[in-house]
Structure 1
Amino acid sequence: MQINSFEAYQQAYKHSVENPEEFWAGIADNFLWKKKWDKVLSWNFSEPNVKWFEGAKLNITENCLDRHLAEHGDTPAIIWEPNDPEKDPITLTYKILHVQVCRFANVLKKNGVKKGDRICIYMPMVPELAVAVLACARIGAVHSVIFGGFSAQSIADRINDAKCKLVITADGSFRGNKQIQLKEVIDDALIGCPTVEKVIVLTNTRTPVSMIKGRDIWWEDEVKLVDANCPAEEMDAEDMLFILYTSGSTGKPKGVVHTVGGYMVYAGYTFTNVFNYQPDEVFFCTADIGWITGHSYIVYGPLSQGATTLMFEGIPTYPDASRMWQIVEKHKVNILYTAPTAIRSLMSFGTEPIQGHDLSSLRVLGSVGEPINEEAWHWYNEEIGKDNCPIVDTWWQTENGGIMISPIAFVTPTKPSYATLPLPGIQPVLVDEAGNEIEGNGVSGNLCIKFPWPGILRTTYGDHERCKLTYFSTYKDMYFTGDGCMRDQDGYYKITGRVDDVINVSGHRIGTAEVENAINMHSGVVESAVVGFPHDVKGQGIYAFVIFGNSQHDEDLNKRDILQTVTRVIGAIAKPDKILFVSGLPKTRSGKIMRRILRKIAEGETSNLGDTSTLLDPAVVEEIVEGAAKLR
Structure 2
Amino acid sequence: MLTADAESEGLDRDFWQQEAQQLHWQHPFEQVVEFVESGPRRRWFSEGKTNLCFNALDRHLALRADRCAIIHRDFCGETHQLSYRELWQQVNALSSLMTEWGIRQGDRVLIALPMTPLAAVAMLACARLGAIHVVVYSSITSEALAQRIQACTPALFLHHSDSRGRESLPTIPSTAENMRVVDTASAAYVQQLALHMDRHVPCVWLSSSEPSHILFTSGTSGVPKGIVRDTGGYAVALLASLRHLFHLADDEVFFTSADVGWVTGHSYGIYAPLLAGLTTVMCESSAVNAPGQNWWHMVAELGITRMLTIAGAIRLARRQGPPRASLTSLRTLYLAGEPLDESTETWVRDVMAVSCENHYWQTESGWPLLAGQGTKLSAVFSRSVEVINPLNGEASPEGETGMLIIKNTLGPGAMLTLWQDDTQHDQRYWLQHRGQWCYATHDCAIKQDSVIVIQGRMDDVINIGGKRLATAEVENALSGLPGMVEVVANRTPHPLLGEMVALFVVTEALTSTQQALLKQEIRKRLVERCGRHALPRRIHFRYQLPKTFSGKFLRRMLLD
- Compute the TM-score of the two structures, normalised by the length of structure 1: 0.72
Q: Of the candidates 361, 368, 376, which is equivalent to residue 344 of structure 2?
A: 376
Identify the residue that residue 120 of structure 1 maps to in structure 2. 110
* CA drift at 1:193: 2.6
Deviations, residues 180-207 of structure 1 (Å, cap 9, x unaligned): 454xx2xx341453342x122222xxxx
* CA drift at 1:318: 4.5
Cα distance change, pair 316–474 in 1 and its aligned pair in 2 (3 A):
farther
Task: Note if 1:222 corresponds to 2:227.
Answer: no
Identify the residue that residue 130 of structure 2 maps to in structure 1. 140
Q: Of the candidates 74, 79, 87, which is equivalent to residue 97 of structure 1?
A: 87
Cα distance change, pair 76–60 in 1 and its aligned pair in 2 (3 A):
same
Tell me, yes or no, if the aligned pair for 1:80 and 1:311 is still in contact at 8 Å. yes
Cα distance change, pair 253–74 in 1 and its aligned pair in 2 (3 A):
same
Identify the residue that residue 169 of structure 1 maps to in structure 2. 159
Cα distance change, pair 585–39 in 1 and its aligned pair in 2 (3 A):
farther
Deviations, residues 601-622 of structure 1 (Å, cap 9, x unaligned): 558879799999xxxxxxxx99
List aligned pairs for 1:206-605, cutoff 5 A: 218-226=188-196, 227-315=198-286, 318=289, 321-351=292-322, 354-355=323-324, 357-384=325-352, 386=353, 389-407=354-372, 414=373, 416-418=374-376, 420-434=377-391, 436=393, 438=395, 444-452=401-409, 453-473=411-431, 477-489=437-449, 491-501=450-460, 534=475, 540=488, 597-598=499-500, 600-602=501-503
Tell me, yes or no, if the aligned pair for 2:336 and 2:360 is still in contact at 8 Å. yes
Identify the residue that residue 554 of structure 2 maps to in structure 1. none
- Which AA in structure 1 matches 2:215? L
Deviations, residues 535-563 of structure 1 (Å, cap 9, x unaligned): 97787576575xxxxxxxxxxxxxxxxxx
Tell me, yes or no, if the aligned pair for 1:79 and 1:311 is still in contact at 8 Å. yes
Identify the residue that residue 177 of structure 2 maps to in structure 1. 194
- 5+ residue gaps, structure 1: 1-14, 204-210, 212-216, 408-413, 504-529, 546-581, 587-593, 613-620
Cα distance change, pair 16–309 in 1 and its aligned pair in 2 (3 A):
farther
Deviations, residues 10-60 of structure 1 (Å, cap 9, x unaligned): xxxxx9965221211111011110011122111269633211111110101
Cα distance change, pair 26–631 in 1 and its aligned pair in 2 (3 A):
closer
Q: Indicate the RMSD between aligned Cα atoms, in angstroms.
A: 3.2
For 1:222 and 1:298, locate their aligned partners in 2 and report how far apart those are by CA, in whole Å: 28
The SS at the match of 1:71 is helix
Cα distance change, pair 432–630 in 1 and its aligned pair in 2 (3 A):
closer
User: Which is further off, 427-436 or 301-310?
Assistant: 427-436
* CA drift at 1:133: 0.7
For 1:84 and 1:383, locate their aligned partners in 2 and report how far apart those are by CA, in whole Å: 28
The SS at the match of 1:156 is helix
Cα distance change, pair 45–362 in 1 and its aligned pair in 2 (3 A):
farther
For 1:295 and 1:470, locate their aligned partners in 2 and report how far apart those are by CA, in whole Å: 24
Cα distance change, pair 44–360 in 1 and its aligned pair in 2 (3 A):
same
- Which AA in structure 2 matches 1:368? A
Tell me, yes or no, if the aligned pair for 2:292 and 2:318 is still in contact at 8 Å. no
Cα distance change, pair 239–440 in 1 and its aligned pair in 2 (3 A):
same
Query: Higher strand share goes to which structure?
Result: 2
Tell me, yes or no, if the aligned pair for 1:101 and 1:134 is still in contact at 8 Å. yes
* CA drift at 1:377: 0.7
Identify the residue that residue 71 of structure 1 maps to in structure 2. 63
Deviations, residues 508-543 of structure 1 (Å, cap 9, x unaligned): xxxxxxxxxxxxxxxxxxxxxx97885977875765
- Which AA in structure 1 matches 2:176? C
Identify the residue that residue 508 of structure 2 maps to in structure 1. none
User: Which is further off, 465-474 or 153-162?
Assistant: 465-474
For 1:173 and 1:542, locate their aligned partners in 2 and report how far apart those are by CA, in whole Å: 33
* CA drift at 1:427: 2.0
Q: Which of structures 1 and 2 has the larger relative contact order (alpha carbons within 8 angstroms, sep 6+)?
A: 1
Cα distance change, pair 320–404 in 1 and its aligned pair in 2 (3 A):
closer
Tell me, yes or no, if the aligned pair for 1:46 and 1:477 is still in contact at 8 Å. no
For 2:311 and 2:121, locate their aligned partners in 1 and report how far apart those are by CA, in whole Å: 28
For 1:117 and 1:57, locate their aligned partners in 2 and report how far apart those are by CA, in whole Å: 19
Identify the residue that residue 38 of structure 1 maps to in structure 2. 30
Cα distance change, pair 630–538 in 1 and its aligned pair in 2 (3 A):
closer
User: Which is further off, 316-325 or 72-81?
Assistant: 316-325
* CA drift at 1:289: 0.7
* CA drift at 1:441: 6.2
Tell me, yes or no, if the aligned pair for 2:110 and 2:156 is still in contact at 8 Å. yes
For 1:361 and 1:65, locate their aligned partners in 2 and report how far apart those are by CA, in whole Å: 26
- Which AA in structure 1 matches 2:190? E
Cα distance change, pair 417–173 in 1 and its aligned pair in 2 (3 A):
farther
- 5+ residue gaps, structure 2: 1-6, 463-469, 479-483, 505-521, 543-560
- Which AA in structure 1 matches 2:74? P
The SS at the match of 1:271 is helix
Deviations, residues 251-310 of structure 1 (Å, cap 9, x unaligned): 311011101011111122112332221112211111111100000001111111111111
For 1:473 and 1:34, locate their aligned partners in 2 and report how far apart those are by CA, in whole Å: 36
Tell me, yes or no, if the aligned pair for 2:503 and 2:540 is still in contact at 8 Å. no
For 1:262 and 1:235, locate their aligned partners in 2 and report how far apart those are by CA, in whole Å: 12
For 2:461 and 2:407, locate their aligned partners in 1 and report how far apart those are by CA, in whole Å: 23
For 2:230 and 2:266, locate their aligned partners in 1 and report how far apart those are by CA, in whole Å: 13
Tell me, yes or no, if the aligned pair for 1:366 and 1:392 is still in contact at 8 Å. yes
For 1:16 and 1:219, locate their aligned partners in 2 and report how far apart those are by CA, in whole Å: 53
Identify the residue that residue 466 of structure 2 maps to in structure 1. none
Q: Of the candidates 84, 91, 94, which is equivalent to residue 76 of structure 2?
A: 84
Cα distance change, pair 326–120 in 1 and its aligned pair in 2 (3 A):
same
For 1:76 and 1:100, locate their aligned partners in 2 and report how far apart those are by CA, in whole Å: 14
* CA drift at 1:442: 5.5
Cα distance change, pair 350–235 in 1 and its aligned pair in 2 (3 A):
same
- Which AA in structure 2 matches 1:250? S
- Which AA in structure 2 matches 1:401? G
Tell me, yes or no, if the aligned pair for 2:489 and 2:503 is still in contact at 8 Å. no
For 2:290 and 2:389, locate their aligned partners in 1 and report how far apart those are by CA, in whole Å: 48
- Which AA in structure 1 matches 2:357? V
For 1:106 and 1:335, locate their aligned partners in 2 and report how far apart those are by CA, in whole Å: 34
Tell me, yes or no, if the aligned pair for 2:503 and 2:539 is still in contact at 8 Å. no
The SS at the match of 1:29 is helix
Tell me, yes or no, if the aligned pair for 2:291 and 2:316 is still in contact at 8 Å. no
Cα distance change, pair 539–246 in 1 and its aligned pair in 2 (3 A):
farther
Tell me, yes or no, if the aligned pair for 1:271 and 1:297 is still in contact at 8 Å. no
